[in-house]
Amino acid sequence: MTPAEIQSLVEDATFDYTMGDHDTALAKLRQAAEAAPAAFEAWHALAEINFSLRRFDDALAAAQRAHALRPDDLFINTTLSRIWMEKGDKPKAEHFGAQAKIQSWKDQLKNPEAAQGGL
């Protein structure tokens, strides 16, 4: 699959999820992740949808795959923090929450105008 096809599959899966078709969404995301194991967006979407469905072990597995691809991503660190909090591991949740905060600060330093609302 091409990167564009993977992105389209992730977008289709996201739509399916928002329409309440969770099984189809998960199947499409698994297909995308299997076809392109380096597709961060597919792994992150798998993590978020499984988290929303309270399937924390599946969410954690997908989030860890996404994190391995982009360890400095603000959103995957936030996702991991939320998952670990739900699983009852506050120290791990705090670790990933701190990583997300650090990345947020880095982003603000790179683009201070956007951080202040374009003022």
Q: Is residue 31 part of a domain?
A: yes
Calculate helix-pair angle for 3-18, 40-52, nearest 10 degrees: 10
Q: Structurally, how many domains does the chain consist of?
A: 1
Q: Which residue segment(s) compose the domain that 81 sits in?
A: 3-110
E strands in the chain = none
Q: Is residue 18 part of a domain?
A: yes
| Residue type for position 24 | T
Q: Is residue 118 part of a domain?
A: no
The enclosing H or E element of 49 equals helix 40-52
Rounded CA-CA distance 50/6 in Å is 19
Calculate helix-pair angle for 74-86, 40-52, nearest 10 degrees: 30
Q: What is the pLDDT of residues 5-38, one digit of tens each?
A: 999 999 999 999 999 999 999 999 999 999 999 9
Q: For the whole model, what pTM was predicted?
A: 0.85
Here the CATH number for the domain that contains residue 12 is 1.25.40.10
Q: What is the pLDDT of residues 52-98, one digit of tens each?
A: 999 999 999 999 999 999 999 999 999 999 999 999 999 999 999 99
Q: Is residue 117 part of a domain?
A: no
Q: Is residue 35 part of a domain?
A: yes
Nearest alpha carbon to residue 60 among 40, 74, 38, 44: 44
Q: When comparing pLDDT for 111 and 48, which is higher?
A: 48
Q: What is the pLDDT of residues 95-114, one digit of tens each?
A: 999 999 998 888 888 877 76
Contact (Cβ atoms closer than 8 angstroms) between residue 63 and residue 96? no
Whole-number average pLDDT of the chain: 93
